[in-house]
Structure 1
């Protein structure tokens, strides 16, 4: 998993509340277990019309927000089904951080397993950031170590995060990666088991 330390990037405002996982990545794109290539389906019905043409009014289709890596979104982002493809699609598109007042629990947990940083700010802070993101300067800094978001105008917002999740994000550890940090201890345990209970090794 790609570590998250500090991100200096464009921010795009997506004020819609209750954006669910089907809107993030529609069902027709779920026929793969690969994480690559899902970016093309991100916000598909919001980004494209019925003829498959980009909707010029959608924020990620606007030239000013090209290559944005941070989204500031409305309440309850990522609600709906538990599909892990949602953070995969965001990451594949290039989004590394989503800021909102709240996230659906399963989506929030999935983010940490995939290197996507979900940042919770107050309603007032999110609104302020949303308004700044609509202005001429779209650059923000998200610093996980200091747990801060610096807005385009230079205002600093502090966010809370579970210490263990923060540590794993900084080191780029998902559940498998975290287990592998104890690989030497696991090897010792398995060797002892093989010596003490050799019948367990038999086919």
Structure 2
């Protein structure tokens, strides 16, 4: 997992509330266990028509937002079924942070495990950032995990809270496997001692 400390990127405005995991990645694409390749189907039913053609007025199909790394979203982002494919699809598309007033708990935690920073801000702050994101590619948001701030293109700064352990994991690029492997020497020592004490096992 890539380390996350600071991000300056284009933000796509998605003011819809209750964007659920089936909207993020429809269930038909859940057959894979790979984390890669799902970006093309991110928001599939909103991005494409039934013939597979892009829907021109969907935000991520607009030229200004094709390289968006941030989503500014409506309330309760990531609700619905607890599918880890949702953050996989976001990450594979290139989304590194989502800003909203609230997130579904399981989705929120899955984001950190997949290198995405979910940021909770008050409605007034999200409204400002949403309007800023609507300016298009010329307006970039700055996300600073170290200082725990989001700065608009006009220089307005908003502070956010994040769990210190989750912050550490993102900044060090540690998912669950990475956390385990960080203890590899201790695990090896335990296994060696266990083998010596119980060689019949």
**TM-score higher than 0.5:** yes
* CA apart distance, 1:194: 1.1
> Number of residue pairs matched?
200
For the 8 Å contact 1:70–1:96, the answer to whether it is kept is yes
> For 2:200, what is the secondary structure of its paired residue?
helix
Larger mean CA deviation between 73-82 and 54-63 belongs to 54-63
2:59 paired residue number: 59
1:88 paired residue number: 88
> For 1:12, what is the secondary structure of its paired residue?
strand
Matched residues in 2 for 1:135 and 1:3: separation?
28
Matched residues in 2 for 1:65 and 1:190: separation?
51
5+ residue gaps, structure 1, are: none
1:182 paired residue number: 183
2:49 paired residue number: 49
Q: 1:123-167: per-residue Cα shift (whole Å, max 9, x none)?
A: 110011001111253211111111111111111111100000000
Matched residues in 2 for 1:138 and 1:61: separation?
17
5+ residue gaps, structure 2, are: none
Give me the TM-score of the superposition, normalised by structure 1. 0.96
For the 8 Å contact 1:149–1:157, the answer to whether it is kept is yes
Give me the TM-score of the superposition, normalised by structure 2. 0.97
Matched residues in 1 for 2:69 and 2:197: separation?
53
Q: CA RMSD in A?
A: 1.0
